Amino acid sequence: MSAHAKSAVSRLPLAALGGRPACFPRPLHVGAPNVPAPAALFDRLAGALARRYLSNHGPLLEEFERRVADRLNVRHCIAVSNATSGLMILARALGLSGEMVMPAFTFVGTAHAMRWIGITPAFCDIRRETHALDPERVDAMVTSRTSAILGVHVWGRPCEITALEAIAAQHELPLLFDAAPAFGSTYRGQPIGSFGRAEVVSFHPTKVLNTFEGGAVLTNDDELAERVRLMIRFGFEDEDKVVELGINAKMSEASAAMGLASLEVVDEFIAVNRRHHERYRANLAGLPGLSLVPYPGDDRSNYHYAVLEIDTERSPISRDALQQVLRAENILARRYFYPGCHRMEPYRTEQPQAQASLPETNALVERVLQLPTGTALSSEDVDGICGIVRLAFEHGEEISRLLPTSAP
Ligand code: T4K
């Protein structure tokens, strides 16, 4: 690089090039929790302390489960300690074994939940447009070893539920959904939570509604619900009668208190997410090779992720260089779900052939970048983030030359 080029670029106000972080003295996280008013939580906690009833299906938990089930229009909500244990217990309650068809483009917890109980994830490719399971490929992957199909509602956008239902019905397989990020979204007018044989939602702090840690198994199947309820409390049917192999995956009263306080204001959280989403879309329009992953216009969405998709054939800066620029400004953009479950252990070693069968997944993990959103952010924060992204695009080629590890 010439001395002239270097001095031109070094005038850019970017921390990645040696300047001071421009806008954000505090880190902006992807996944900073939405929190309710402290009093709404503390009052409920005070009640739990006064009752001296802190876990094992207390009154707060019961109310939380009822309210979630009502909101999602599903018969049973069984609150659990986290979505990963919910997925494990659900599969076990259904007596599944062998293989489960699922995407590799998901949080590794989806695959681990199954592998932990001896089920082999059969990784299926996604569709570029939806980022979710490609139903045609699912159909082709079903074998005599398949015991279920698991769709994932990535970014809180429903996967192709109707098409998956048809395939599951044709092969007489249970259809399950990892709905971890999808609380508050609907599919064809019906809330996510009541599709397939069961769905599992997460209430982790990084999700639109949180219970500190937590999740729920949601189903309209009475027998399945009863089995899951037994399994999450060691198999106890009553005080000293254990009727099957169970485990501990109960949600505490403190978590339920957080859930109830958050439920009261979750629509406000979603409204903020939506405002940020629209602001990102408006501010980032027209940048070459960059798009903001949309939420469906004809359904309700929780807008909980601001996902950039970067086509490096057309963009002047690579996804990873952009992430580097943003991180230096304290904008902690993430690359979920890089590098894909199939390239993480133990799957990388156990299923080396998966690498060649997932071209869309392999391409997508190189293209997406998540920006912060949620109630921890102000509109001005969104504008500031967009300003940095625009600057990075406008000077992408020079920045890419200067950043040591940013080769596209
Ligand atoms: N299936 C899918 C499709 C999922 O997305 C997930 C979870 C699951 C299943 C399993 O659900 P759970 O068993 O967790 O209920 C995070 C979350 O830990 C994970 O729950 C989530 N998906 C995943 C997408 O993101 P990490 O490893 O990236 O977490 P971490 O610690 O880096 O936190 C993410 C960001 O959030 C950080 O930048 C800091 C920020 N943060 C986090 C916490 C906990 C805060 O600002 N405050 C906080 O309290 O996985």
Rounded Cα distance, 178 and 175, in Å: 10
Is the pLDDT confidence value at 305 over 50?
Answer: yes
- Residue 316's domain is classified under what CATH number? 3.90.1150.10
* Ligand 1 in reach of 83 Cβ (< 6 A): yes
* Ligand 1 in reach of 30 Cβ (< 6 A): yes
How many C-beta atoms surround the C-beta of residue 314 within 10 A? 10
How many C-beta atoms surround the C-beta of residue 199 within 10 A? 27
End position of a domain, from candidates 241, 263, 285: 263
In the prediction, which pLDDT does 13 show? 75
In 337-381 the beta strands, taken as DSSP E runs, fall at: 368-371
- The residue written with tokens 């979204």 in the block is 185
Instruction: Give residue 32 CA to ligand 1 midpoint distance, Å.
Output: 9
Residue 6 lies in a domain: no
* Ligand 1 in reach of 88 Cβ (< 6 A): no
Instruction: Give residue 405 CA to ligand 1 midpoint distance, Å.
Output: 26
Residue 389 lies in a domain: yes
Buried b (16+ CB within 10 A) or exposed e, 58-96: bebbebbbebbbeebebebbbbbbbbbbbbbbbbbbbeb
Q: Which domain holds residue 352?
A: 266-402
In the prediction, which pLDDT does 25 show? 83
Which of 206, 331, 335, 368 gets mutated to test ligand 1 (max ligand atoms within 8 A of its CB)?
A: 206
Residue 33 lies in a domain: no
Claim to verify: residue 231 and residue 299 sit in the same structural domain: no
State percent of the chain over pLDDT 70. Answer: 95
* Ligand 1 in reach of 33 Cβ (< 6 A): yes
Task: Describe the chain by its helix, strand, coil percentages, rounded to 5.
Answer: 40, 15, 40
Per-residue pLDDT tens for 180-234?
999 999 999 999 999 999 999 999 999 999 999 999 999 999 999 999 999 999 9
* Ligand 1 in reach of 327 Cβ (< 6 A): no
Instruction: Give residue 3 CA to ligand 1 midpoint distance, Å.
Output: 44
Claim to verify: residue 273 and residue 253 sit in the same structural domain: no
Angle between helices 59-72 and 253-263 (to 10 degrees): 40
Claim to verify: residue 246 and residue 363 sit in the same structural domain: no
Claim to verify: residue 245 and residue 282 sit in the same structural domain: no
The size of the chain, in residues, is 408
Claim to verify: residue 343 and residue 364 sit in the same structural domain: yes
Alpha carbon 275 to chain centroid, angstroms: 20
Number of domains in the chain: 2
Claim to verify: residue 305 and residue 212 sit in the same structural domain: no
End position of a domain, from candidates 237, 263, 289: 263
Claim to verify: residue 382 and residue 359 sit in the same structural domain: yes
- Residue 134's domain is classified under what CATH number? 3.40.640.10
Q: 200 and 182 in contact (C-beta within 8 Å)?
A: no
Instruction: Give residue 205 CA to ligand 1 midpoint distance, Å.
Output: 7
* Ligand 1 in reach of 107 Cβ (< 6 A): yes
- Cβ neighbours for 238, distance < 8 A, ≥ 6 positions apart: none
In the prediction, which pLDDT does 401 show? 86
Claim to verify: residue 146 and residue 241 sit in the same structural domain: yes
Per-residue pLDDT tens for 21-64?
667 888 999 999 999 999 999 999 999 999 999 999 999 999 99
* Ligand 1 in reach of 340 Cβ (< 6 A): no
Residue 25 lies in a domain: no
Per-residue pLDDT tens for 248-263?
999 999 999 999 999 9
